[in-house]
Structure 1
Amino acid sequence: MGRSKKKVRVGMIGYKFMGKAHSLAYRNLPFFFDSDAEPVMQAIAGRDEAGVKAAAEKLGWSSYETDWRRLLERDDIDLIDIGSPNNTHAEIAIAAAEAGKHILCEKPLCMNMEEAVRMQQAAHKAGIVHMICHNYRYVPAIRYAKKLIDGGRLGTIYHMRATYLQDWIMDPQFPLVWRLRKEVCGSGTHGDLMAHSIDLARYLVGEMTEVSGMMETFIKQRPLGEMSGGLQAAASGTAEYGEVDVDDAVAFLARFASGALGVFEATRFGKGNRNGNTLEINGSKGSLRWDMENMNNLHLYLDEDERGMQGFRTINCTEPEHPFAGAYWPPGHIIGYEHTFINLISDLMQGIAGGYSPSPNFDDGIRNQLVLTAIEQSARSKQWGSIPEF
């Protein structure tokens, strides 16, 4: 007879792009991982009853609510999964913590530092398990890169450069969806894409001490409209336009506490790039490169290789020795984007079973927000800005 596992009853808020990704992870986790806790897809919440009911049926949720507050009132919910727009994160997370619910929150953690601190304090006071969904930390190749760096294989780290390039809003007639409205999302490309690059930089290289940034909005007005799923949108059909008050592109330079330098760029105007999330790290003994669109491959250069054989080798990170990879298929049978969420949920379940908050958690979210805020301030002042300690 197998051991008894803790059942974690999940209440999820939001059911579109990230809701679909999270739902798949909850459904598939027991198939791949023998975790000490197991998710139960208890309830999903959304404002549109017809939409949330259809989503519950399609995605595999046992029930639905049209008000997220009902999830907090239910005694059959243990974990609140927040996948709603950014301006709702703080209110929901603080209320969830006060209700004694564990929390998984989509990134960016919130709209500003004041909200981030309140969220962290509420989570710590309640003693609940909390995580932020930076799923790219859960790519096996990224985990293996971390192992190589921490093991000294690259030597002293001198440089990190990262880009996150997309192109889905380049049409001037693409509507003014919630992701392009400051009151809802807080920032544009900066919080949506650059937040991922910042989190990976902190994970792989360490904390930053100062930054110099610039931000730009290329299209100032757009027709009104709403998201229709994924990264698609539909115009309202009216002739009304609204002001775009968030960034289309952001770039910054950084200094790390270790002495390394960083160069970062994120844009939604990188024509031909659907999800061009890439990074390169250079050290005294070697370098590595990674590209999300070829996420299983890590490119590694080691100076110790003999002359005549030096060059970047390609490591297909699907061997049992690679983090998380052994839970899936035989070597060379690649995994995909959706598996990063399964890997993250496996850590979350272990954390709930063990009573600890796996990283990245709200503490990481605050440190990411410190960097995001400093970049925005630097872009406005056109001066270098320091990252305050927290």
Structure 2
Amino acid sequence: MVGHGFMGAAHSQGWRVAPRFFDLPRQPEMTVVVGRDAEATAASARKWGWNDSATDWRAVIARNDIDIVDIVTPGDTHAEIAIAALEAGKHVLCEKPLANTVAEAEAMERAAAAAAERRIRSMVGFTYRRVPAATFARDLVAAGRIGRIRQVRAEYLQDWLMDAAAPLTWRLEKEHAGSGALGDIGAHAVDLAEFITGERLTSVSGVMETLIHERPLLGEGVGLSGTASAERGRVTVDDVALFTGRLESSALASFEATRFRTGRKNALRIEISGSEGALAFDLERMNELEFYDATQPGLEQGFRRILVTEHDHPYLAPWWPTGHMLGYEHGFSHQVRDFVVAIDEGSAPRPSFADGLHVQRVLDGVERSSNAASVWTPIAG
């Protein structure tokens, strides 16, 4: 695994736990974690169960005992690491968004397609697809339970940047993050909406806004919650992104991504309205799905709560007895399960780098639309 911060911890948990709950066809070994700081990386290896640590990712991907490279670094490094790993014959799991630019994502997709001809697999880490309630929502839509899709509303709401004194981190710098709320969390809303509906966005119109333009620089060795320096740096990404879109069926969709929605901690919400019913999901109530059946008699209609904890629900058979809840980290175990199974079967895992490229084009379309006074912007491919 290359990288070992917040996402590194989440992915490590997935690699540790998945083999113990799922009957995997192959057993992954957590061989080495890579980071820039030798001491911090070694500490992460000890904490999360990696056998070894290193500081040179190029040397690691050249090793014969490495089969999979898991990339959890900032977006500006994704393309270089992923392409090199694929060319070295390694399967690649890469965190979202796939890259910082469409050009980088296109290069990654080309490398993935070439590697696939040699049975080398690649996948993007849109983990919320693998929350059981979200996967079950996809299954209900695919089964026609809500009829023809008419309207979609998706939003990802957080408030962790509300404090103007919070320091400038790499997520607030375009050169490292590519974009702000749009790419960091808006990408999840786009992917989940397309995953559940089974449709892609074909055009978008949006606006992006930076609410706090300068923040204190981080002192040496200081994290997000630590003391910032007196110097200030410029925020070069968006704080809020609002956009509308049109799906392949011509259904309309609206999206919001913000890290300034006061009081909302991790609210990824999606509501899909159809001709025969509707579905609503909220990540802050991740074991629940709301379902409205419009085919029932009028006096019986209304949203009903489905507790998605039955063993027949997606992914849940190996876990706990019915009614015992899963949490944020379980999606990463489901991701490992699906990736390892695909590698063993020789099948193409989803979401693919082509899927990641499409989302990158959506993000780019929103940004270009915002820069051009919110005109409708077609999405290629």
Please give the TM-score of this superposition, normalised by the length of structure 2.
0.96
Quote the offset at 1:39 in angstroms: 1.2
Quote the offset at 1:265 in angstroms: 0.5
1:269-308 correspondence to structure 2 within 5 Å:
269-308=260-299
Q: Show the counterpart of 2:212.
A: 219
1:66-105 correspondence to structure 2 within 5 Å:
66-105=55-94
1:149-168 correspondence to structure 2 within 5 Å:
149-168=141-160
For 2:299, give the aligned amino acid: G
Q: Show the counterpart of 2:328.
A: 337
Quote the offset at 1:354 in angstroms: 1.3
Q: Contact 2:169–2:224 at 8 Å: present in 1 too?
A: no
* Aligned counterpart in structure 2 of residue 52 of structure 1, from 36, 41, 45: 41
Q: Contact 2:201–2:379 at 8 Å: present in 1 too?
A: no
Q: Show the counterpart of 1:199.
A: 191
Pair 1:55–1:159, CA change in 2 (3 A): same
Instruction: List per-residue Cα deviations over 1:359-387 (Å, max 9, x = no partner).
Output: 11101001101111111000000143343
Q: Contact 1:280–1:287 at 8 Å: present in 2 too?
A: yes
Pair 1:286–1:227, CA change in 2 (3 A): farther
Quote the offset at 1:37 in angstroms: 2.0
Q: Contact 1:177–1:226 at 8 Å: present in 2 too?
A: no
Q: Distance in 2 between matches of 1:61 and 1:335?
A: 24
Secondary structure at 2:27 match in 1? strand
Instruction: List per-residue Cα deviations over 1:27-49 (Å, max 9, x = no partner).
Output: 11112111212211000000111
* Aligned counterpart in structure 2 of residue 109 of structure 1, from 93, 98, 101: 98
Q: Distance in 2 between matches of 1:126 and 1:307?
A: 54
* Aligned counterpart in structure 2 of residue 209 of structure 1, from 198, 202, 206: 202
Q: Distance in 1 between matches of 2:253 and 2:360?
A: 17
The answer on 1:309 being equivalent to 2:303 is no
* Aligned counterpart in structure 1 of residue 26 of structure 2, from 37, 44, 50: 37
Secondary structure at 2:15 match in 1? helix
Instruction: List per-residue Cα deviations over 1:296-339 (Å, max 9, x = no partner).
Output: 10000001222322111100111122110112111111111111
Instruction: List per-residue Cα deviations over 1:186-233 (Å, max 9, x = no partner).
Output: 10001001000010111122111111100000001011117989x944
Quote the offset at 1:251 in angstroms: 0.4
1:236-251 correspondence to structure 2 within 5 Å:
236-237=228-229, 239-251=230-242
Q: Distance in 1 between matches of 2:127 and 2:115?
A: 25
Q: Distance in 1 between matches of 2:47 and 2:126?
A: 25
Q: Contact 2:3–2:72 at 8 Å: present in 1 too?
A: yes
1:164-179 correspondence to structure 2 within 5 Å:
164-179=156-171
Q: Distance in 1 between matches of 2:143 and 2:18?
A: 30
Pair 1:249–1:225, CA change in 2 (3 A): same
Secondary structure at 1:240 match in 2? strand
* Aligned counterpart in structure 2 of residue 347 of structure 1, from 338, 342, 349: 338
Aligned residues: 377
Q: Show the counterpart of 2:174.
A: 182
For 2:107, give the aligned amino acid: R
Quote the offset at 1:159 in angstroms: 0.6
Q: Show the counterpart of 2:375.
A: 384
Pair 1:158–1:226, CA change in 2 (3 A): farther
Secondary structure at 2:31 match in 1? strand
Secondary structure at 1:234 match in 2? coil
Of all paired residues, the percent bearing the same amino acid is 46
Secondary structure at 2:270 match in 1? strand
Pair 1:338–1:358, CA change in 2 (3 A): same
Instruction: List per-residue Cα deviations over 1:258-315 (Å, max 9, x = no partner).
Output: 1211011010110101101111000010011110011010000001222322111100
Q: Show the counterpart of 2:249.
A: 258
Q: Distance in 1 between matches of 2:258 and 2:273?
A: 23
For 1:272, give the aligned amino acid: G
Q: Distance in 2 between matches of 1:46 and 1:28?
A: 22
Pair 1:233–1:89, CA change in 2 (3 A): farther
Q: Distance in 2 between matches of 1:376 and 1:388?
A: 12
Pair 1:121–1:234, CA change in 2 (3 A): same
Q: Where in structure 1 are there 5+ consecutive unaligned residues?
A: 1-11
The answer on 1:319 being equivalent to 2:306 is no
Which aligned segments of 4 or more residues in structure 1 are displaced greater than 4 angstroms? 226-229
Q: Distance in 2 between matches of 1:226 and 1:369?
A: 32
Q: Where in structure 2 are there 5+ consecutive unaligned residues?
A: none
Q: Distance in 1 between matches of 2:347 and 2:220?
A: 36
Q: Contact 1:37–1:352 at 8 Å: present in 2 too?
A: no
Q: Show the counterpart of 1:65.
A: 54
Q: Distance in 2 between matches of 1:23 and 1:327?
A: 19
Q: Show the counterpart of 2:17.
A: 28
Q: Show the counterpart of 1:4.
A: none
